[in-house]
Chain A
Amino acid sequence: MRSFRLADWQWNVLGALVIIGAWQLYATFANPFFIPSFTRVLSELWTYIVTGAIAEALGHTFLLLIVGLVLGSLVGVPLGLFLGVNQRLGDILAPYIQAAYATPRIALIPVVIIFFGISTPGQIVLVFLQCVFEILIATEAGAREVSGQFVEVARSLRLSRLKTFVDVILPGSFPYIVSGLRLGLSNAFIGAIGAELFMESAGMGELVRFASQSFRTDRVIAGVIVLSLVAVVLITGMRLWERRVQGWRTETFE
């Protein structure tokens, strides 16, 4: 008798079926207010898609995400490189940067509101704060590592400071910068949704908040599913990019 064996993809499908099946079965007994059925959620999702509500909401969320992330990189990468090369200064500022990195920046929302208002500009500032330290710290770690390893070689080749920076430190730090961008992206995503929930209602945050305030659990879950899918696509894309530029370097930041 052959033993019971499944291929990997069959296990994947089985997992999805178990989760969806259990959900659907449970929903037939449960109060639909708390647990709407899977098919109910799908139909709400479809309505959201055909009415263009999702596209419109994602448009605002992506605006915050992209502008915030670009600003975060424009500040985080140069500053990280600077502190990574000037290590004494980096050591001095390290505890302050670590402190900002370790703390939940969501707590700064009231401060951001006072200085930048509750609408899109203020929301972009929050997304910026949410990702800039991740990018800065990863870049600084990269520049430090590369300066330690290769700068002696560059000096013995009599490269100028500028040329060392452009030809050695910048390309050497690049994989770390991509790691920082990946971490920054997931954090920026949290910041964008947080901004839309707690500042001026807009985008996906507004969509979910409105659904929850009108007690439509099915619509809330539909919104969560959209966000999960978007997050998976974005983060997987970043991971692939990261793996590509990293080559031999296997350690990753978490």
Chain B
Amino acid sequence: MIGIRKVGSAARVVDLQARWGDRTTIIAGQLAVLVIWLTAWEAVGRGDPLLLSYPTQVLGGLVTMIQTSELQGLFLFTARTFLIGWAIAAVAGLVFGSLIGAFRPVALMFEPFVNALYSTPKIVLIPLMVLWFGIGLNAYVASVAIGAVFPMMIMTITGVRNAGREYVDVARSFGVKGLQLLWKVVVPGALPFIFVGLRLSMGRAIGGAIAAEFFLGGGGIGGAVQAAGMAFASAQMYGLILIIFGSVMAVDIGFRRLWSVLSPVRP
């Protein structure tokens, strides 16, 4: 007995060591890629600063923009339209998605239109939003919301259906009903899908915010990227794009973390 256990634990130690070694190699590789990329960019970019710029210049540009608090203003503008539009899309998507998911006649009546609009590139609706809402904040927010609402709706529909199909019958046969059924069975069952919906719509919302700024020619980080591109201010342009990428990544990772904490299904 003891012998077997010893062999088992020894094997586990070896296994853990191997996995640990794997992990270190991968992280080392990732850092190496980053270093090679930055070095190559710095080396090549110094030869053609007008088009390529280079990391130290980009960093310097960002520092200057922070010191003059230009970057903060741009960031807040885009963040505001993004957050308001995303919130509207989330609530609207949740409400309409739940209705379509829960009631079959509603689904039969309206789901084809939802699916059609889900496939349509919403970017084409930005000109329409401008006609409807003018060129103020409302047009930006509407462009964000219209882009983000459909993934939210589709995932809510899927979630509500999924929860309904698999567990509602079981719960009913145990006498669960009414609000308790909704709160204890349907909501937890739909929650993973709703979270995916929020994450997908987040990506669309940021895309919508940037696209609206391009179309309306100003305001926020997207407008500043466009202006910098036209002025061949490459360092600024790359810096702002990196800020966009960094923010999206941060929100995305934060969201995944949040889900792994809140998830009702423990792995």
What is the number of contacts between chain A and chain B, taking CB atoms within 8 Å? 154
Structural contact, A194 and B117, CB atoms closer than 8 A: no
Within the complex, the shortest CB–CB distance from B140 to chain A, in Å, comes to 14
Does the CB pair A107–B115 fall under 8 Å?
Answer: no
Q: What 0/1 pattern do residues 122 to 148 of B give for CB contact below 8 A with A?
A: 111111101110000000000000000
Contact B241 A111 (CB under 8 A): yes
- Whether B109 pairs with A14 at a CB distance below 8 angstroms is yes
Count chain A residues whose beta carbon lies closer than 8 angstroms to a beta carbon of B: 60
**Residue A104 contacts which of B126, B203, B237 (CB distance < 8 angstroms)?**
B203
Task: Give the CA-CA distance A227 to B252 in the complex, in Å.
Answer: 30
Check if B237 sits within 8 Å of A193, measured CB to CB.
no
Q: Is the pair B211, A194 in contact by a Cβ cutoff of 8 Å? A: yes
Chain A residue nearest to B147 (CB atoms) is A190
Q: Which B residues are CB-close (under 8 A) to A34?
A: 131-132
- In the complex, whether A12 has a CB less than 8 A from a CB of chain B is yes
A92-132 vs B, Cβ < 8 Å mask (1 yes, 0 no): 11011001001110111111011100000000000000000
Chain A residues, CB < 8 A from B108: 8, 11-12, 15
A110 touches B127 (CB 8 A): no
A-B CB contact pairs (8 Å), 20 listed: A8-B108, A12-B108, A15-B110, A15-B113, A34-B131, A88-B25, A91-B29, A103-B248, A106-B123, A108-B241, A109-B229, A110-B225, A186-B121, A192-B121, A197-B124, A197-B214, A232-B115, A232-B119, A232-B120, A254-B196
- State the 8 A-B residue pairs at the shortest beta-carbon distance, nearest first: A110-B229, A15-B109, A212-B127, A11-B108, A104-B207, A92-B29, A231-B119, A190-B121
Which residues from chain B sit less than 8 Å from chain A, CB to CB? 25-26, 29-30, 33, 51, 105, 108-110, 112-113, 115-117, 119-128, 130-132, 155, 196, 200, 203, 206-207, 210-211, 214-215, 222, 225-226, 228-230, 232, 234, 237-238, 241, 244-245, 248-249, 252
